[in-house]
Structure 1
Amino acid sequence: MERVVQFTGPRQVELAEQSPAELPPGHLRVRTRYSGISAGTELTAYRGTNPYLTRTWDPQARLFHDGAAGIEYPVAGWGYSEVGEVLEVSPELAGTQDIPQVGDTVWGIWGHRSEGIVPAERMVGHTLPAGLEPLAGAFARVGAIAYNAVLAGDIHLGEDVAIFGQGVIGLLTTRLAQLNGARVTAVDALDGRLETAKRYGAHHTLNARTDAVAEHIRAATAGRGADLAIEISGVYPALHDAVRSVTVGGRVVASGFYQGDGIGLRLGDEFHHNRVQLICSQIGGVPPQLSGRWTVERLQQTFLRLVAEGQVDVTSLVSHVVPAADAADAYTLLDERPAEALQVVLEF
């Protein structure tokens, strides 16, 4: 039987069983080894705050519409950071160049399920780089989200960059920004994460609860403010602090998944008076000015190459590897005790 993690309601998790589906033409069957839990997007469905639960996204109009839900409980297989072994290849694809074959370790998106049936075209270039342990493959997507935010920020060598939020994606953003030549100030409300940020390349750290963040950043930059701030926690007050922290005409990349009304964000204050540039980064696409050269696929593949080359450490970010049968406990941990966890991974 195939096992699938699903949300049956807000903060309700179960491991369901279902019969394996037949493999259709043009597809691969992958046995999942690890599946990383997103402490951002996934928790919006777990908590019941995701906009798709109350509205419908119209991909043609590019608008949300009220009146009907785009997704409903049970929400099954909600995940986007999987790695596993190819068990079966559609017969017409056997031996096809560039298509992963039986026994290959691959990464991709097929959700929190023991087996995934994935279109072969989506798995081209998704064989795990040589020398990487399988657990690293679960970071392809989160690494790409961090990479996308850094590209959107258009960092120049020597610039001062403040990164708000030092969870897994924030820590990877800190490292990538530092590799890109930035002098990074890491901001978070948890001291443990700030200590980790120092290992990931932060020159300075600030606690959002106890430090006057914008004032400290301006004092450290001779009164100018940061050239760029990247907000990746998805918290409106943090986005407001990011806006307050940048220089006149500075850039703020909003890469978090913000929920509900923007309480704590005041656009009539520093945003208006300092003419701040607000840029959205979302993994559905790359920065428009780079779309001729970059794709989401390139982001993911390049990030894993950096990991394979030893320039970015991901496996030390794994705080918990949890059997899929205990998935409910894993979500409770991330929801109620975030200070105790970084990357939580389900093992199948």
Structure 2
Amino acid sequence: MSAGDARAVEFAAPRDVEVIDIPVPTPGPGEVLVETTLSAVSAGTELLVYRGDLDRQTVADEELAALNGDFSYPLRYGYSVVGTVASVGDGVDPVWEGRTVFGFNPHESHFLADPNDLHPVPDGLTPETAALFANAETAVNFALDGAPRIGERVAVFGQGVVGLLTTAIIARSAAETVVAVEPRDRRRELAADLGADRTVDPTDVDAAGVVRDLTGGADLAVELSGRPETLEVAVESTRFDGRVLVGSWYGTKRAELGFGDHFHRDRVTVTSSQVSSIAPELRGRWDRERRRETAWRELERLATDRRIGDRLVTDRVPVGDAPAAYRRLAADDADTLQVLFTY
């Protein structure tokens, strides 16, 4: 095959996305060639890349082989691809050929991978639902780090794809109450359908006060809005010795925050959580393999019980229209939730 047979999404500069032709690679020894069916846009992180809101010297992800560069332009980014193994190189078990797999790879129509870096999609799971796997693993990580105890009250701020998955997973934990805070009507409806006991529209209200009224003060607040100013609201929503888990990646975005008397006197703890690593206190019992097995089980359960793929996927976009898709996401279209590129 020659150049032009394959395509890739490339961030050429801030707010400048191109779909470029690339040659279809040939698998070498120990490699397989994956032909992409679809890839999921992780709106929170990818909009940081699109807008230029990341330090360009930051390593994209040291744990993923396909993302071992930094955020200097031009770059290819993304980490949720579902496709079929089209061919295998020398030394690879032929059983891989024809398998439907998930890969942590940028938006490309064809890519090479070590089979050890791929994840066979469980039988019965659609490619659309399987494309949510990376976000499901992130949600599992938040649940592990937040560790809601029996009888605790939890508030989840932000009900994008990761927020909704986190709400759904924590809702079946030992927590007594889960409150979802989100300004968009449809996302609050989805949060309630996925297990939130109460929902709060933070528009034109004291959201922290409403959460405190509903919970008596949250034991755990999970901040997933992507807005640094929401962190102060999350802190103010907690009770004495409350915990705030920050899963948002703010990049270079800044906001004026005022952590006043409540934060200082009530011993509120603010902790970051990020899926690239396992919390130190869990590493004796948890590793990435166990966490990923858990994420697949949670995704299968949500697909069976809640039709999660049908509910979260709002846009299926031919990859050639990727520039328009990012413009729509950046415009904060209220109807857009999960965007999938099709190939």
Q: Same fold (TM over 0.5)?
A: yes
- Equivalent positions of 1:42-57 (< 5 A) are 42-51=46-55, 53=56, 55-57=57-59
Q: Deviation string for 1:134-154 (max 9, x for gaps)? A: 111111111111111111111
- Equivalent positions of 1:25-64 (< 5 A) are 25-51=29-55, 53=56, 55-57=57-59
Q: Deviation string for 1:48-89 (max 9, x for gaps)? A: 1112x2x355999xxxxxxxx94322112x111111100111
Q: Which amino acid aligns with 2:81?
A: E
Aligned to 1:302: 294
Q: Which amino acid aligns with 1:111?
A: P
Aligned to 2:66: none
Q: Are 2:106 and 1:111 equivalent residues in the alignment? A: yes
Once superposed, what is the RMSD of the aligned Cα atoms? 2.0
Q: Which amino acid aligns with 2:187?
A: R
Aligned to 2:272: 280
Which of 131, 134, 139 lines up with 1:141 in the alignment? 134
Which of 194, 204, 215 lines up with 2:198 in the alignment? 204
Question: Shift of the alpha carbon at 1:122?
Answer: 1.2
Work out the CA distance in 2 between the residues paired with 1:322 and 1:58.
25
- Equivalent positions of 1:1-348 (< 5 A) are 1-51=5-55, 53=56, 55-57=57-59, 70-76=70-76, 78-95=77-94, 101-123=96-118, 126-182=119-175, 183-221=177-215, 224-260=216-252, 262-309=254-301, 310-311=304-305, 313-315=307-309, 316-348=311-343
Question: Shift of the alpha carbon at 1:330?
Answer: 1.0
How many percent of aligned residue pairs carry the same amino acid? 37
**Structure 2 runs not aligned, ≥5 long:** 63-68
Q: Which amino acid aligns with 2:135?
A: V
Q: Deviation string for 1:189-217 (max 9, x for gaps)? A: 21221111111111111112222111112
**Structure 1 runs not aligned, ≥5 long:** 61-68
Q: Report the count of equivalent residues.
A: 329
Mark the CA change 1:116 to 1:247 in structure 2 (over 3 Å): closer, same or farther: same
Work out the CA distance in 2 between the residues paired with 1:302 and 1:57.
27
Structure-1-length-normalised TM-score: 0.89
Aligned to 1:63: none
Q: Deviation string for 1:284-327 (max 9, x for gaps)? A: 11222211222233323322222223256421200011000111
Question: Shift of the alpha carbon at 1:37?
Answer: 0.2
Tell whether the 8 Å contact from 1:175 to 1:312 is kept in structure 2 after alignment: no
Q: Which amino acid aligns with 2:200?
A: L
- Secondary structure, counterpart of 2:50 in structure 1: helix
Structure-2-length-normalised TM-score: 0.91
- Secondary structure, counterpart of 2:43 in structure 1: coil
Tell whether the 8 Å contact from 2:158 to 2:182 is kept in structure 1 after alignment: yes
Mark the CA change 1:75 to 1:330 in structure 2 (over 3 Å): closer, same or farther: same
Tell whether the 8 Å contact from 1:283 to 1:296 is kept in structure 2 after alignment: no
Question: Shift of the alpha carbon at 1:181?
Answer: 2.7
Work out the CA distance in 2 between the residues paired with 1:71 and 1:211.
37
- Secondary structure, counterpart of 1:338 in structure 2: coil
Mark the CA change 1:311 to 1:108 in structure 2 (over 3 Å): closer, same or farther: farther
- Secondary structure, counterpart of 1:333 in structure 2: helix
Aligned to 1:64: none
